Amino acid sequence: MQPTVFSNAKQIREEAERLGFSFCGFSKADFLEEEAPRLEKWLLDNRHGKMAYMERHFDERLDPRKLVPGARTVVSLLYNYYPEQKVAVDGAPKISSYAYGEDYHVVVKDKLFELLHFIRENIGEVNGRAFVDSAPVLEKAWAAKSGVGWVGKNANLITRTHGSFLFVAELIIDLELAPDGPLQDYCGTCTKCIDACPTAAIIQPRVVDGSKCISYFTIELKDEIPAEMAGQFGDWVFGCDVCQDVCPWNRFSKAHRQTRFQPQEAWKNWNSNDWEEITEDVFQRLFRESPLKRTGYKGFRRNLEFRKRTS
């Protein structure tokens, strides 16, 4: 392997760190042979519920060369979103900490575009695409393959120094870089995430039944929430952090420094009454750049009403 392959990797890692990424690793853009039967079984078992988009682009999910012709390397990057303080007014509706601030798709993709621009400016003409949870890419599989972390029993990517409150992103490029190897699994015999899941969605280590997850019901599901789920969500109305909150590795989580992820002063101290009285105009104004816009006002109101009926 040419020395430039290693020097290019060093340059990219240093720039990724400058841009605020906590981890950067490389893997050869190739077919994910081990993931293929796992994904197929997960879909055949209907673990994706009504997330029909998971059934599409099966081949693209497993082979990055189908997304970026001539792809040589998957650059996996992790961006920290662990909040300095949880938004937790006693008894109030809870929102997953990834959604406190501005939509991460926008924030992290801005960083990816900067990194891709740096590569082109400093290394040469490179073809590639940036991905942040918005295309058929098995992001956690690539991140684990590149050694930036390992997939824990809760199916989240975990690191030894920052825990798991990290957004996973990729550049898929046609530049050859020295690949990194995977880490070992450091979960050991711990089952805290499995034991703590309110809806028993973690059906076995590293396998989550998406159709049972609180995040699925409160974000992805567009229909009414099934009555049999009553009383199982606690105060969660958008996403759920339980399996991360109980993970021992998250004692090493460090507060992020991204101002765009900070919760707005306008709502972070709201109590139950404040949330229940939210109007559509206020929702649209406060959350127009937030992940909460994914549910829309109608969906968010459904979640609030379901919590109110079952709390």
Across-strand partners of 26? 75
Residue count (the chain): 311
Sole residue written with tokens 């972390």: 149
Query: pLDDT digits over 216-252, tens only?
Result: 999 999 999 999 999 999 999 999 999 999 999 999 9
DSSP annotation string for 190-219: --HHHHH-TT--EEETTEE-GGG-HHIIII
Question: Given this model, what pLDDT does residue 304 score?
Answer: 97
Mean pLDDT on 35-53: 94
Question: Given this model, what pLDDT does residue 5 score?
Answer: 78
Query: pLDDT digits over 89-125, tens only?
Result: 889 999 999 999 999 999 999 999 999 999 999 999 9
Question: Given this model, what pLDDT does residue 3 score?
Answer: 62
Which of these is catalytic: 63, 133, 185, 274? 133
Please state, rounded to an integer, the average pLDDT across all residues of the chain. 96
The β-bridge relationship of strands 23-28 and 128-131 is unpaired
* pLDDT above 80: residue 1: no
DSSP annotation string for 71-140: --EEEEEEEE---SS----TTS-EE-GGGSSS-HHHHHHHHHHHHHHHHHHHT----EEEESSSSS--HH
Sole residue written with tokens 């995040």: 215
Cβ neighbours of residue 113 under 8 Å, at least 6 residues apart?
A: 130
Q: Let me know if 180 is a catalytic residue.
A: no
Question: Given this model, what pLDDT does residue 310 score?
Answer: 63
DSSP annotation string for 213-245: -HHIIIII--SPPPGGGTTSSTTEEE---HHHH
The β-bridge relationship of strands 236-238 and 94-95 is parallel
- pLDDT band at residue 39 under the 50/70/90 scheme: very high
Run of H or E residues at 39:
helix 35-44
Domains of the chain by range and CATH?
3-84+98-173 (3.40.109), 192-310 (no CATH)
Question: Given this model, what pLDDT does residue 139 score?
Answer: 97
Cα gap 1→198, rounded to integer Å: 49
Helix 3-18 to helix 104-122 angle (10° resolution) is 140
One-letter amino acid at 211 equals S
Residue closest to 54 by CA, chosen among 209, 194, 166: 209
Tokens of 195: 């034991």
DSSP designation for 201: -
Q: What 3-state DSSP class applies to 150?
A: strand
- CA-derived radius of gyration, the chain: 20
